[in-house]
Structure 1
Amino acid sequence: MKTLLFALCLSLAPLSHAVADTLHFVTEEYAPFNYIKDGKITGIAVDQVEKIAKAAGIDYTLEIMPWARAFAMAEKQPNTCVFTTGYNRERAERFVWVNPLLKDQMVLLKRKGDAHDDLTIVKARELKVGSQRGDFAVEALELIGFKDIDLASDIDITLRKLISGRIDLMPTSVKTYKKLVKDGYPVEKAMLMAGQIYGLACNKQTPQGLIKGLQAELDKLILSGEQDRIFTAYGLPPDTRTADNGTKN
């Protein structure tokens, strides 16, 4: 009986280890970085995350949901990572990071034809701005003095509000702006904002071995030129103007 029990434990040991090392990647609907197309989760960041997880030999799950829920899950649940997450000093200590999936500049958009040209921060604060609940852009706006921010659950709702005139401005990345214009949305640049780094933000209880494995594979992806090729495949070459501001943890 003892021999049988020992053999059973040995047979289950690899399975238990695999389950323990499964990473749960959560993200939002935010094209072209992470979105659903033909029933499949895809996008610039999704392609990178899947490639580096597979290259590192890490089992993973991938789920798309509202941003605020995804962000909260990564903060509270071990072995959970949320992306594509804007990095800043306040968030640096709340997660362990794998960077950069993206370097980009932020921009405030207006509805095409609206007369909000040559905006300054002071003028922009007098207008109605909208964003997504829990999004990095909300923190960025609050940091420069925006107070009454209209919050939605996802970018599609914010975009509809902008186009319908319910809000005057919405923040997003330059790459997302280019994708919106390419897709025929009637939006224009109102004002450029600061550059930003985006990456994988993982729960602090995630094993360091998994984080190091992901970071090593992301570094290889970047050095090999594969990250650039992924951007190009989605019609958005990388914007090299955004400076690296020391984001590695």
Structure 2
Amino acid sequence: MFKKSSALLVYLIFYSQLVVAKEFFFVAHEFPPISFLKDSSAAGGMIDVLQMACKQLGHKCRVEIHPLARAFKMAENKEIHGVLSLHKIPERAINYADSPEIIKTTLVYMGLKVSGAKPIASPQELVGRTVLVTRGTATQKLIQKHAEQIKDLKVLEDVDSATMISKFINGKYEANVLIASTEEVLKSISQKNGIELVTLYTIAEKPLVISFVKKKMDEGDIVEFNKVLNKMKKDGSIKKILTGYNLTPAE
């Protein structure tokens, strides 16, 4: 009788785990070393953080890398449960529920060293310059505000920071064009491609989060994910992961 009861208990525990286990689909954009495509799979600091959280929750999480514009469209169509590696901004609160702050990043203006780029004291010194930004990002919104205040500041949009750097290398942008993006990302990409960038001006510090799609994801699941992520922040798991990518955890 005892053996039968024990076997039944083990079965019920196993079955209950199968019932609560869920599958989630997230999208991140090319944003190395935070999120990037490696050997046809999503990799990076934020990806590893998410996968650890999924593992602790007993869920299976799939992550793909797509341009931000496509990621937002997929979220709008309720095809995905969340978008990774986004800067936290109030405008997204209508459609997204943010995770705890995960990665500390700095938004900056940078320029090619060979073009004679030097630090500036104020964005007002950017009169008449051309700046590249990734469309759909928090940086783009900040630069657009600068463009309203700075005479003849021209803003060009591109798919992502890696594409912008690639176009610099291939001569599709003039050397004196500036890039506004996340400093940690620009440094990673430029070092990989053997070019040197100079930080002209620090725009703001912005933490990165996981943005859960409210229309797609149950509120209870969002709460559970955030509980685990907060636990990972407190026990040092997130810091340990990010250190391997030369990234700093958010406070």
Q: CA deviation at 1:68?
A: 0.7
CA shift, 1:180, in A, is 3.4
- Normalising to structure 1: TM-score of the pair? 0.80
Q: Which residue of 1 aligns with 2:186?
A: 177
Do 1:75 and 1:95's aligned partners in 2 also have CA atoms closer than 8 Å? no
For residues 238 and 32 of structure 2, the distance between their equivalents in structure 1, rounded to whole angstroms, comes to 17
Task: Show the 5 A alignment for 1:8-27.
Answer: 21-27=22-28
**Structure 2 spans left out of the alignment, 5+ residues:** 1-15
- Which position in structure 1 is the counterpart of 2:218? 207
TM-score (ref. length: structure 2): 0.80
Deviation for aligned residue 1:216:
0.9
Distance 1:178 1:159, change over 3 A: closer
Q: Is the Cα–Cα contact under 8 Å of residues 165 and 190 in structure 2 kept in the other structure?
A: no
Q: Select the residue among 123, 126, 130 that pairs with 1:124.
A: 126
Kindly provide the amino acid, as one letter, of the partner of residue 66 in structure 2.
M
Question: Percent same amino acid among aligned pairs?
Answer: 21
CA distance in 1, matches of 2:68, 2:201: 24
Q: Which has the larger radius of gyration?
A: 2
Question: Following the alignment from structure 2 to structure 1, what is the Cα–Cα distance between the partners of residues 141 and 57?
Answer: 33
C-alpha deviation, 1:49, in angstroms: 0.9
**Number of residues paired by the alignment?**
226
Report if aligned partners of 1:33, 1:84 keep a CA contact under 8 Å in 2: yes
Q: Which residue of 2 aligns with 1:194?
A: 204
Q: What is aligned with 1:157?
A: 163
Distance 1:40 1:170, change over 3 A: same
Q: 1:63 and 1:46, CA in 2 relative to 1: closer, same or farther beyond 3 A?
A: same
Q: Quick one: which amino acid aligns to residue 200 of structure 2?
A: A
What residue is the counterpart of 1:134 in the other structure?
136
RMSD: 2.6
Q: 1:22 to 1:143 in 2, by over 3 A?
A: farther
1:53 match: 54
CA contact 2:34–2:44 (8 Å) conserved in 1: yes
Question: 5+ unaligned residues in a row in structure 1: which ranges?
Answer: 1-13, 245-249
Rounded Cα–Cα distance in structure 1 between residues aligned with 2:146 and 2:54: 36
1:1-20 deviation per Cα after TM superposition (whole angstroms, max 9, x unaligned): xxxxxxxxxxxxx9xx779x
Q: Deviations over 1:137-194 (max 9, x none)?
A: 1112112336632112232221133453436111222322332354333222111111
Residue 219 of structure 1: aligned partner = 230
Any conservation in 2 of the 1:162–1:169 contact (CA below 8 Å)?
A: no
Q: Residues of 1 paired with 2:249 and 2:167: CA distance?
A: 28
